[in-house]
């Protein structure tokens, strides 16, 4: 699951052309942060989490946040997420709950997690998030980019007075809450991705490197020390049974790591950019020189020299299904991601994610991702060999 900012405009005010994208139209333009899962698209509004129909962009239903535990003076949604299951969609709310002074008992703050069924509106799970180590609900801030293990654990990077820690809280029964303590450093810990029940986290201070942590229990499964770590990786992508790690900052991170055991398939990360094909086996370093690599072994496929990249003003816009979408100072080109050869021109849109009946896409006319209903996008012109 990923967070995306979708462009806030009303496409009904302009003529609809064949294959025109359907642009999601938030009713409150300054809260246009959307989450999407395998079926659902939703954003948080003043009344709760609002779901939209991918075929029309219209609001379909809203799941309001729970009122919180009895006796509270105020509640605020500190974080939220959605998870599609076979027959329902769960909405997870992390509430910051404030209690008033009661005689000689001073005011206090707690955090609670509630899981609400979109289908029935019922709360299916609730739990107070207990303080642990340096984690204090009154002094801690949860980052927006929660990573969610679909089996029942949400993992947050927590910013506090003593640095960054990691907080994992169940949103379904049968799981254990756990916390990785901040160590007094702003680097601390960061939750990067989750797949196959394993959370990939990084540490940029003592015992630095990458860790594979069991989502259900917090048990460390493996640790890869990384030399010269001064910050966390820029981007991590789940690709098959590997984590793909990209970083143009300090640290000799591996490129591909097997999810379950931490085995390194390709030793050196790719600098510059995060162009990983979600529907293929190619990663492209987007700087100069531009280099394409095979996943997961890191074998170089092709490259364009620095002078050519800079002379063309060549910029990678995206990659999907074996096609690399680029712009130069004067043209929009499509390259074969495996060979680097030009195969098309004048592209208009390309997929970011393909779902059942709708496509999350990049379009040249919009600053944020758009939704296309259906299964096809406008095809670019084919370049004659």
Q: What is the pLDDT of residues 286-300, one digit of tens each?
A: 888 999 999 989 999
1 band by pLDDT with thresholds 50, 70 and 90: very low
Q: Is the dihedral of CA 182, 188, 193, 199 positive or negative?
A: negative
- Would the pLDDT of 110 be above 50? yes
The DSSP code for 13 is G
Query: Nearest Cα to 317, choosing from 359, 366, 379?
Result: 366
- Would the pLDDT of 261 be above 60? yes
Query: Nearest Cα to 115, choosing from 71, 58, 159, 175?
Result: 175
Region 18-35 average pLDDT: 45
- Would the pLDDT of 109 be above 50? yes
Residues 6+ away with beta carbon under 8 Å from 264? 224, 254, 256, 257, 258
Query: Nearest Cα to 113, choosing from 168, 62, 192?
Result: 168
pLDDT value at residue 270: 78
pLDDT value at residue 135: 76
Query: How many CA atoms lie less than 13 Å away from 203 in the CB half-sphere?
Result: 21
Q: Pick the residue with more confidence: 209 or 91? A: 91
- pLDDT digits over 297-349, tens only? 999 999 999 999 999 999 999 999 999 999 999 999 999 999 999 999 999 98
**Mean pLDDT across the chain, nearest whole number?**
84
Q: Which residue has the tokens 């769960």?
A: 90
User: Strand, helix or coil at 252?
Assistant: coil
Length of the chain: 385
pLDDT value at residue 249: 66
């Amino acid at each position: 699951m990923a967070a995306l900012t979708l462009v806030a405009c009303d496409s009904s005010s302009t003529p609809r052309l064949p294959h025109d994208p359907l642009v999601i139209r938030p009713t409150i333009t300054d809260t246009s942060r959307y989450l999407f899962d395998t079926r659902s698209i939703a954003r948080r509004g003043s009344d709760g989490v609002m779901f939209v129909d991918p075929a029309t962009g219209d609001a379909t239903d809203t799941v309001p946040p729970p009122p919180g535990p009895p006796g509270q003076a105020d509640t605020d949604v500190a974080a939220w997420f959605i998870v599609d299951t076979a027959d329902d969609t769960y909405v997870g709310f992390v509430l910051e709950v404030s209690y008033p002074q009661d005689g000689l008992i001073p005011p206090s703050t707690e955090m609670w997690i509630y899981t609400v069924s979109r289908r029935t509106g019922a709360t299916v799970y609730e739990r107070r998030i207990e303080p642990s180590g340096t984690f204090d609900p009154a002094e801690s801030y949860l980052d927006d980019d929660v990573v969610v293990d679909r089996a029942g654990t949400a993992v947050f990077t927590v910013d506090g007075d003593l640095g960054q820690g990691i907080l994992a809280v169940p949103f379904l029964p049968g799981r254990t809450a756990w916390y990785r303590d901040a160590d007094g450093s702003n680097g601390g810990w960061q939750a990067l991705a989750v797949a196959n029940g394993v959370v990939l986290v990084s540490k940029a201070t003592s015992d630095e490197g990458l860790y594979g942590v069991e989502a259900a229990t917090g048990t460390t499964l493996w640790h890869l020390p990384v030399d010269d770590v001064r910050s966390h990786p820029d981007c991590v992508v789940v690709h098959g049974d590997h984590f793909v790690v990209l970083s143009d900052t300090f640290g000799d991170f591996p490129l591909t790591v097997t999810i379950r055991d931490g085995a390194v398939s390709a030793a050196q990360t790719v600098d510059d950019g995060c162009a990983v094909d979600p529907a293929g086996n190619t990663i492209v370093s987007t700087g100069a020189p531009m280099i394409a690599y095979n996943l997961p072994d890191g074998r170089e496929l092709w490259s364009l020299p620095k002078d050519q990249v800079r002379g063309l003003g060549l910029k990678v816009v995206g990659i999907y299904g074996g096609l690399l979408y680029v712009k130069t100072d004067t043209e929009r080109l499509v390259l074969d991601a495996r060979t680097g050869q030009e195969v098309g021109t004048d592209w208009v849109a390309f997929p970011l994610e393909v779902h059942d009946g709708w496509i999350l896409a990049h379009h040249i006319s919009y600053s944020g991702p758009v939704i296309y209903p259906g299964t096809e996008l406008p095809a670019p012109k084919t370049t004659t060999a």
